[in-house]
Amino acid sequence: MTLPAAFDPLRLFRVLNDAGVRYVVIGAFAGRLLGSPTVTRDLDVCHAQDAANLQALAIVLRELNARLRGTDRPVPIVLDAQTLASAQSWTLTTDAGDLDLIAIPAGTDGYDDLLRNAEPTDLDGLTVLVAAVDDLIRMKRAAGRPKDLIELEVLGALRDELDEAGSS
């Protein structure tokens, strides 16, 4: 059995940015970047779905040796732009850790929708766009899974803290 790669989000961001991939960070990692105490071991991103972006994303996935996660044994798959366009989400493991690609997260219209309120965040010299806390709440509410409903409480408290900090 192969051990999973160590989670290295900075490497994931660096490779995505270097390839010019357009994406917004979502999920628990986005919450963490905004101040949530929730810990996660994967990176969720919402990516633009145009052909050029899917092509850049495919190059990144090949560079990171991406493969499907959650299967008992390796499943042969060609991760190219056409394949990426064929599904709304991909759950992958890479040489830099787990990466989930979600074209249209629950409760949103996708990348352009999230881009409107995304917040540029500096991470060790890398700029990444992070979904706004209200958009994270919208996604969690729409997904409605038990773990999402629990996280709604955390994100609601975070929003209150951010609002309070912004008004002082």
- The predicted pLDDT at position 1 comes to 45
Closest to 148 measured CA to CA, from 103, 107, 93: 107
Cα separation, 48 vs 69, in Å, equals 22
Q: Helices 51-63 & 9-18, crossing angle to 10 degrees? A: 130
Per-residue tokens: 168: 């002082």
Nearest to 45 by CA among 139, 141, 165: 139
Cα separation, 141 vs 139, whole angstroms: 5
Label residue 70 by pLDDT band (50, 70, 90): confident
Q: What is the pTM of this model?
A: 0.93
pLDDT at 13: 98
CA torsion, ordered 75, 76, 82, 86, to nearest 10 deg: -20
State which H helix or E strand residue 89 sits in. strand 89-94
Mean pLDDT on 32-59: 96
Q: 146-167 and 27-34 are packed helices; what angle lies between their axes, rounded to 10 degrees?
A: 20
- CATH number assigned to the domain with residue range 9-132, chosen from the 4 options 3.40.1190.20, 3.40.50.720, 3.40.50.1100, 3.30.460.40: 3.30.460.40
pLDDT tens for 71-88 read: 777 777 889 999 999 999
Domain boundaries along the sequence of the chain = 9-132
Quick: pLDDT tens for 143-156: 999 989 999 999 99
pLDDT of residue 2: 55
Residue 101: phi and psi, rounded to 5, are -105, 125
